[in-house]
Structure formats: C-alpha cells, structure tokens
Structure 1
C-alpha cells in the first residue's frame, strides 16, 4: 500500500522521537510535508498518517462514523490509567451509551453550581502563599484543580478519603512526569512489576489504592442515593440508559478515573501555561485586568465566563500549547482520497492538533502569543480543536474551560505575580500530555487592590 509522504527516518528512531520529543518530531516532519505525512510511531499502531490541513480534518471529522471510524482499540494505550470501560476505549453503540450517560454531568446548570467552589478553592490556595518566595505555578494549579475535581466528581470537601486521594492521584501520575518515564506507557515491554521499588510496580500499587477508595465511594453513594446531590458520581449512580440499565461498579470506576486523570492533567497544564503567557506579556495582563474591572462588585461566575478578552486569552493559550497534541485516531473504512492521496481501508489517521494550530496561513506568527486573533475572526472546528472533535470530542470541555477562566480571573484580580526569569518555557511530554518543562517559576509580590468583587464571591478575605 502506497502511503502519503512516508518519513524515511528508521522506524525505531521515529518511535523514540515520538515519545521523547513529540513536538520536535512533528515540526520536523511538517517542514518537509506541510499538510500530510506518514510516520512510524508507537501508541496507535505502527504506521500513522498525520493530517494537519483543515480541509482534510473536516473530511475526517464529518465522516466520523462512515468513511472514518474512531476505533476504541486504538486507544488501548491508555487502559492502564483509565480502564477498558472508559469512553476513550469503547466504540460503537457501547461508546455512545457511555457518553450519553456521562454528558449530563457537564450541562450548563451544573457548571453554575461549580463556579463559586472554583473561585473559593483558588483563593484559599493562593492565600497560603508567602510573599516574595518562589513557587511553581503548575504545583499550585495542580492543588486547585485536584480539589475541584475531587469535590465536583465525588462531592468530597474534607475527610480522610479526600486527603488520601489528594496524595495518591498526583503521586501516581508523577511517575510519568518526564519523557523518559512516560515511555512506560508507550512500550508495553517496560510494564513489568518488579516490586514496589520499580516504576511500574509503584504505579500498580498506587492505582490499587486509588481503586479501593473509588469503589468505597461508589458503594457509599449506592447506599445513600440522593438526587439532590450535585457531584458527578451521584448523578452517574442514578443514570440509566435507554433500556433502563444502570452502570456497573467497574464502568463507574473507569469513567471516574477518566474524568480525574484526563480532566486533572490537562486543566492543570492549561492554567499553568495561561499564567505563564499572561505574565510574559504585560500588555495582555493589563488589558485583561481592565476587562475584569468592568464587572464591578461581586461578579457572578457566568459573567466572568462570558468575558470576550478572557476567552480569547484562554483560546490562545490552548492554541499555542494544546495539552493533547493530537486527536483520537480514526481508521479508514473504505477507499478514500485525502488531499490528493489515496488511503486504503485500515489506514490509521491522526489529526495533529498541535500542527494545525501552528499553520502560518491560519495563525500568522504562530509562535507569538496574540489573543487578539480570536477577537478578529472565528475559527472553524477544523482549524481550532484543542479538545478534539467529532464523536470523540472531550466530554469535560465545558468544565475545563469554566475552571480555566475562573482560576485565571481570580488570580489576576487578587494577586500581583511575576515570572522569576524571562527564559521561555518549553513544552515537554508528560504522560499523554505536553506540559511546561520547568513548571512556570513565579513569585507573589503583593495583593492587588481593590479586590472586593471576587473576594466577596469567594467569601474569603485577602487582606
């Protein structure tokens, strides 16, 4: 089978480059073949056709169930983290069923209920920071996001279970914090349990402890059914499909792990990148503060969420540094022509989110942080897709954007921060995501006055 623009680098080197430096790998290939190329990588099958042209991505996503199919088995690489019943691993009618059961948890009314919680937790965490001492922004966004997720997903706001999960989840995911340790996820021959001292052995033991806590929460929620509770687990326990069937404990566990792992890592990284760019660009920060100040006293979370420049800043952050650099793979179902190339059934295609966001014809000076571009034009779902697209679009998109906007708004309104140095942060693989390599080192120089509006909303004094 003749594949389009096959990269000539030896297969083993391509696989290593994909794991160690995925952005460098894609940028180098795109310099030679700007719209479509074929690589030999690990994770989605041996040979993958990378697509980064909006017309081709539209063709793939609008024919998601016919000419191209999102095959769950192509995502098996994530099963050690999220399980075989995760929406990322399923396909066909079973995938549709699980999405339909989970989606109501992210409807607008539920988002409103989470708004004050997000602002309050953010203020609480930042209030504990000492002045003029260096900190890593990603560590703080990690703490905020973790507390939000545990309360939103499980309804946990205090107690032993909360503290255990707050400790165990970051510990488990930190095993994959570097490109080298991330290779454990991509090369199955490295997944050997050699005892608690070995990386994979430690991961399995951490996961087992998390599973025990999750199953205990599921049992408790089943025994104390309460339709008035707003946490996601309470809703999922009561959710029924078209035949009246409830989710099994295993299905619940896998969906909860998916929400925690995917929602946690991506949101932590996105907010950290946002803080980095806002403080890297003083004019962006000033314009953002001007917009926030127009809300007056006690702005409600939905008013913050609708701010146009804040939205543009978040979109530009996700454009230049999408946490997930590619969409879920699609498998060609029938012979098709894509950008003048014939693809045969069985060909695996991958829409490169990172490369489409870096196209000069769509985003002039793509390496420059320019939120204004999102105010000057509207990009199609095939030109801007930080949360993927089609039937595999991220379920938690609404909560992620809501949290990103509220945390950035709360931090900017309350505190005066600065980057410790001007050295540019570089993206680095962290498990399945790409995060700031140095964690965004910052310092709090003071409190911002006046701060009455968001402080009242959070219900916490910042004096």
Structure 2
C-alpha cells in the first residue's frame, strides 16, 4: 500500500522519539511535509498518517462513514485506563446513542449550577497556598480540577469517601507523569504485573481499589434512588436508551473513568499553561484585570464566561499548547484521494491538532502568545481544533472552558502572582497529553489590585 510522505527513519527510532519527544518529532516531520505525512509510531496502530491541513481535516472529520470511519477499536491504547465500554471505545450507532445519553450533562442550567461551585473550590485551594514561597501551579490547578470533577461528576463532597476517591484517582494519573512511565501505555510488552513495587503492578492495584470505590458508590446510589441529585453520575443512572434500558454498572464505571481522566488532567494542564503565559506577558494580565473590573465586585459566572479578552486568552493558550496532540483516529473505508494522495482502505488517519495550531499560514509567528488573534479573526473548527472534531469532538468542552475561565478570573481578581523560575516552560509528554515540564513555578506576592480595591471599599464602609 502506497502511503503519503512516509518518513524515512527506522521504525524503532520513530516510536522511541514519539514517546520521549513528541513535539520535536512532529515539528521535524512538518518541516519536510507540512500538510500530511505517514509515521511509524505506536498508539492507534503502528503506521499512522498525520493530517494538518484544515481542509483535509474537515473532509476527514465530517465525511460520512462510507469514506472515513471513527473506529473505537483503534483506541485500545486507552483501554487499561478507561475500560472497554467507554464512549471512546464504542463505534457507529452504539457511540452515537451513548453520546446522546451523556451530552445533556454538560449543557443548560447545569453549567450555571457548577459556576459557584468552581469559584468556591478555587478560592479554597488558592487560600491554602504559601505566601511568598514557590509552589507548583499545576499541582494547585490539578487539585481544583479534581475537586470539581468529584463534585460535578460524582456529587461527592468532603469526607472520607471524597478523600479516598481523590487519592486513588490522583495516584493512577500520576503514574504517567513522565515520558518514561508513559511508555507503559505505548508498549504493551511492558504491561506486566511484577508486584506492587513495579509500575504496572502498582497501576493495576490502584485501579482495582478505585474500581471498588466507584462500584460501591454506584450500588449506594441505586439503593438510594434520589431523583433530586444533579451530579453527572445521577443523570447517567437515570438515562435510558431507545429500548428503555439503563446503563449497566460496567458501562457506568467506564463512562465515569472517561469523564474523570478526560476532564481532570487536561483542564488542570490548560489552566497552568494559561497562568504561565498571563504572567510571562504582564500586558496580558493588565488587560484581563481591566476587563474583569468592568463586571464589578461579585460578577455572575455566566458574565465571566462571555468576556471576550478572557475567551481570547483561553483560546490562545489552547492553540499554542493544546493538551491533546491528535484527534481520535479515522480509518479509510474505500479508495479516496486526500491532498492529492490516493489512500487505500484500512489506512489510519489522525488530525494533528498540535501541528495545525503551529501553521504559519493560519497563525503568523505561531510560537508567540498573542490572544489578539482571536479578536481579529474567526477561525473555523478545523483551523482551531483543541477539542477534536466531528462525532468524536470532546463532550466536556463546555465545562472545561467554563472551569478554565472561572478559575483564571477568580485567581487574578484576588492575588498578585509572579513566575518563580526564569527558565521558559516547555511541553513534555504526560500520558497521551502534553504538560509543562516543571509544572509552572510561581509565588503569591500579595492581593491583586482588584482585591485591594474591594478591601479598601469594605474598610471605608465599616468606618
């Protein structure tokens, strides 16, 4: 089979670089083949064609299943984490129906309900950080994101149950914090249980303990049968398919794991990147503070969500550092032509979000952080694609952006921060995502100008 622009490098070296240095690997390939190239990497099969051209992405992601099919079986890389019944693993009508069941969890009045919760969690976590001492920003945003997930998805608040879920989920996610440990996902031969002290053995035991907590929660909910709860687990448990069948315990477990991992790690990383760039470029911070000041002392979460410059900052963060690198794969179903290349059936295609966001023809000076791009131009869903596209577009996009904006607004309105490390942050593999290599080291140096004004006003009122 003739594949487009097959990279001329030994397969083993390609796979090794893909795991250790994916950014360098992708950028090197794009210098030679900017629109489409074929790589020998491990992930969604061994030979994958990367596509970065927006028009080609649109054709792949929106075409009917006669040409390009989204096959869940190509996502087996994630099966150890998410299970076989996750929406990510499903295909065709099963995927469509499951998506219809899950989608209402992230829209409508539920989002408004989550707003105050996100703000309160942010205030609590940030108030516990040390003043004038270096802390790792990603640890703080990870704590916020995890608590938001536990409360919105599980409806679990403080107490032994919430703490147990929090610890086990964090332990599982932390296993894949580096390229070395991430290699266990990419090389199945490494997935051997050599006891609790071995990485995979520890992962399996942590997963089993987390599963026990999840199944216990599901059983208690079924016995409780409380129709007034608004968390996502309760909504999923009350959902039925067209035949009137509810989700099984296994299906619920796998969907919960998908929501936990997809919404926890990714949102935490995006927020830490945003805080890095906001304080790397002080003029961005000043513009944000000016915009936030227009809303008054106690702004409504939905008004924060609609702020144009805050939205531009979040979009530029997700452009320059998309947390996920690739769309879910599509498989060619019949002979087709794409960008002048003839593709045969069974060719595996992925949209490369990272490289699309680095295209000079779309984003001049792509390495520079310039939120104004998104105020000056409207990008199509295939030019700006941080949440994937088509029928596999991220279900949690609305909640992730809502959380990101509210956390940034809450932190900036209350605290003055400074970067504690003069070295530039660079992305490094963390599981199947990219995260800042040092986690963004910062210090709290005082109250923000917004908070100072509020405090002064309160003092004058008291007098």
TM-score, L = length of structure 2: 0.97
Contact 1:51 1:350 in 2 (8 A): yes
Q: Which residue of 2 aligns with 1:370?
A: 370
Match of 1:401 in 2: 401
Give the deviation of 1:422 after TM superposition.
2.4
Counterpart of 1:219?
219
User: 2:52 matched to which residue of 1?
Assistant: 52
Deviation at residue 64 of structure 1 after TM alignment: 4.7
Q: Is the 8 A contact 1:299 1:454 kept in 2?
A: no
C-alpha deviation, 1:450, in angstroms: 3.8
Alignment partner, residue 142 of structure 1? 142
Residues 289 and 450, structure 2, Cα contact 8 Å, conserved in 1: no
**Contact kept in structure 1, 2:69 and 2:330, CA below 8 Å:** yes
The aligned residue for residue 443 of structure 2 is 443
Q: Is 1:433 matched with 2:420?
A: no
Which residue is equivalent to 1:81? 81
Shift of the alpha carbon at 1:453? 10
Asked if 1 retains the 8 angstrom alpha-carbon contact of 2:316 and 2:369, the reply is: yes
1:70-94 Cα shifts (integer Å, max 9, x gaps): 1000001101001000011111111
- Could you say which residue in structure 1 is the equivalent of 2:5? 5
1:121 aligned partner: 121
Q: Residues 410-436 of structure 1: CA distance to partner in whole angstroms, max 9, x if unpaired?
A: 000010000012211010000011000
**Deviation for aligned residue 1:166:** 1.3
1:46 to partner: Cα distance: 1.4
- The question of whether the paired residues in 2 share the 8 Å contact of 1:48 and 1:348 is answered with yes
Report how far residue 130 of structure 1 moved.
2.1
Partner of 2:169: 169
Alignment of structure 1 residues 303-318 onto 2, 5 Å: 303-318=303-318
User: Partners of 1:198 and 1:5 in 2: how far apart?
Assistant: 40
Pairwise CA distance, 1:242: 1.1
- Map 1:171-186; keep pairs closer than 5 Å: 171-186=171-186
Contact 1:87 1:99 in 2 (8 A): yes
Shift in alpha-carbon separation, 1:78–1:277, aligned structure 2, 3 A: same
Runs of 5+ consecutive residues of structure 1 not aligned to the other structure: 456-463
Measured against aligned partners, the alpha-carbon deviations of 1:41-60 in whole angstroms (never above 9, x if no partner) come to: 00111111110001110110
The question of whether the paired residues in 1 share the 8 Å contact of 2:320 and 2:357 is answered with: yes
Whether the 8 Å CA contact 1:298–1:454 is kept in 2: the answer is no
Is the 1:86–1:255 Cα contact (8 Å) retained in structure 2? yes
Q: How does 1:333-348 map to 2 (within 5 A)?
A: 333-348=333-348
Quote the Cα distance in structure 2 between the aligned partners of 1:258 and 1:454. 41
Structure 2 residue ranges without an equivalent (≥5):
456-463
The aligned runs of 1:13-32 (5 Å cut-off) are 13-32=13-32
Give distance in 1, aligned partners of 2:44 and 2:62. Answer: 21
Classify the secondary structure of the residue corresponding to 2:363: coil
Q: Match for residue 90 of structure 2?
A: 90
User: For the residues of structure 2 that align with 1:444 and 1:450, how far apart are their CA atoms?
Assistant: 15
SS state at 2:43 partner: coil
Given the superposition, is the C-alpha separation of residues 43 and 64 from structure 1 closer, same or farther in structure 2, using an over 3 Å criterion?
farther
Kept in 2, the 8 Å contact 1:237–1:247? The answer is: yes
After superposition, give the CA deviation of every residue in 1:117-154 in whole Å (9 maximum; x if it has no partner).
Answer: 00000001111122101000000001111011000011
- Residue 257 (structure 1) shift: 0.3
Distance 2:64 2:44 in 1: 17
Give SS of 1:50's match. strand
**Distance in 2, Cα, partners of 1:432 & 1:319:** 17
Instruction: Please give the residue correspondences for 1:377-416 in structure 2 after superposition, counting only pairs within 5 Å.
Output: 377-416=377-416
- 2:278 aligns with 278
For 1:458, the equivalent position in structure 2 comes to none
Give 3-state SS (helix, strand or coil) of 2:337's partner.
strand
The CA RMSD over aligned residues, in Å, is 1.2
Answer whether contact 1:296 1:453 (CA < 8 A) is retained.
Answer: no
What does residue 151 of structure 1 align with? 151
Separation (CA, whole Å) in 2 of partners of 1:312 and 1:441: 24
Give the drift of 1:206: 0.4
CA-CA distance at 1:449 after TM superposition: 4.2
Shift of residue 11 of structure 1?
0.4
Contact 1:64/1:391, CA 8 A, preserved across alignment: no
Change (3 A) 1:442 1:46: same
SS in 2 for 1:371: coil
Aligned equivalents of 2:424, 2:42: Cα separation in 1: 29
1:227-376, aligned counterparts within 5 Å? 227-376=227-376
Aligned mates of 1:453, 1:66 — CA distance in 2: 60
SS at match of 1:451: helix
Q: Which runs of 4+ in 1 moved over 4 A?
A: 452-455
Q: Is the 8 A contact 1:417 1:442 kept in 2?
A: yes
SS of corresponding position for 2:42: coil
Q: Secondary structure at the match of 2:58?
A: helix
2:206 matches 1:206: yes
Aligned to 1:460: none
Q: 2:236, 2:115 → 1: CA distance?
A: 21
Partners of 1:227 and 1:374 in 2: how far apart? 42
Q: Structure 1 pair 208/314, CA: closer, same or farther in 2 (3 Å)?
A: same
